[in-house]
Amino acid sequence: MHIVIMGCGRVGSTLAHILEDSGHSVAIIDRDPQAFRRLRAGFRGRRVTGIGFDRDVLEEAGIESAGAYVAVSSGDNSNIISARVARETFGVDNVVARIYDSRRAEVYQRLGIPTVATVRWTADQILRRVLPEGAEPLWRDPTGSVVLAEVAYHPGWIGIRARDLEEAAATRLAFINRMGETLLPKNDSVVQEGDILHVMAAENDMERINKVLSGGPEEGH
């Protein structure tokens, strides 16, 4: 696949190297030609100097044959505009834009542009490492209203059927990680010692779910 990246900062250059190592062809755009110094000496992709939402610049980068477009410059507006141009003008279906202002995420989502809210994602990653217990968000939708979270649970849940746990906590188990293997819960699945449980739920419901699971089956009913 040919992939066009706008922004040759640390994220853009890292993505370019990873994608090229995976066998994809890459073109990377940046308005500052000095930014291409971040690319390794052996980088084989195109380096295009210019603005990522300029039609001529995009065409030079091979947007017409691109299977994906990634906008990771330092400007929210530039990222969104260029992603919309890639999708609406050149018909690239697989686009993603990085943003810093997570409050805009819902607006961008309505425009059909998948976004990565940098500050929110970074905060979640830090929280997962400093909070050993409780609900740890692994993913949240762009509006921040739905989360996929790893949850701590009372040892009393060990040996309990997954569906009974779901009923007690009024939530849905998304998956179980068991000894490094990811399992989708079935009707007869039973929680085993060492299982890592993940739930998909509304963010404003996570405190209640965590309280139920940390209290044990007896307290959960």
CA distances from 152 to 131, 198, 215 (A): 11, 9, 10
- Looking at residue 85, what DSSP letter applies? H
Please state the pTM of the whole predicted model: 0.60
Contacts of 205 (CB under 8 A, 6+ apart): 171
In this structure, how many other beta carbons lie within 10 angstroms of the beta carbon of residue 192?
Answer: 11
Phi and psi, residue 47, nearest 5°: -110, 115
Confidence at residue 221, expressed as pLDDT on a 0 to 100 scale = 45
Confidence at residue 132, expressed as pLDDT on a 0 to 100 scale = 46
HSE, CB side, 13 Å, CA atoms: give it for residue 125: 6
Instruction: Give the tens place of pLDDT for each residue, 126-183.
Output: 555 555 455 556 777 766 688 888 888 898 999 999 999 999 999 999 999 887 788 9
Nearest to 72 by CA among 64, 57, 82: 82
| Segment (H or E) for 178 | strand 172-178
Confidence at residue 134, expressed as pLDDT on a 0 to 100 scale = 52
Confidence at residue 187, expressed as pLDDT on a 0 to 100 scale = 83
Phi and psi, residue 125, nearest 5°: -65, -40
Cα–Cα distance for residue pair 197/214, rounded to 1 Å: 12
Nearest to 4 by CA among 73, 101, 106: 73
Confidence at residue 191, expressed as pLDDT on a 0 to 100 scale = 95
Confidence at residue 68, expressed as pLDDT on a 0 to 100 scale = 93
Scan for tokens 């190592």, then name that residue.
Answer: 21
**One digit per residue, pLDDT tens: the chain, 221 residues?**
999 999 999 889 999 999 999 899 999 999 999 999 999 999 999 999 999 999 999 999 999 999 999 999 988 889 999 999 999 999 998 898 888 877 776 677 666 777 777 666 656 555 555 554 555 567 777 666 888 888 888 989 999 999 999 999 999 999 998 877 889 999 899 999 888 899 999 988 988 998 999 888 875 44
Is the alpha carbon torsion for 158, 162, 168, 169 positive or negative? Answer: positive
Question: Could you tell me whether strands 94-99 and 25-30 are parallel, antiparallel, or unpaired per DSSP bridges?
Answer: unpaired
Length of the chain in terms of residues written: 221
Structure tokens at 221: 């009913």
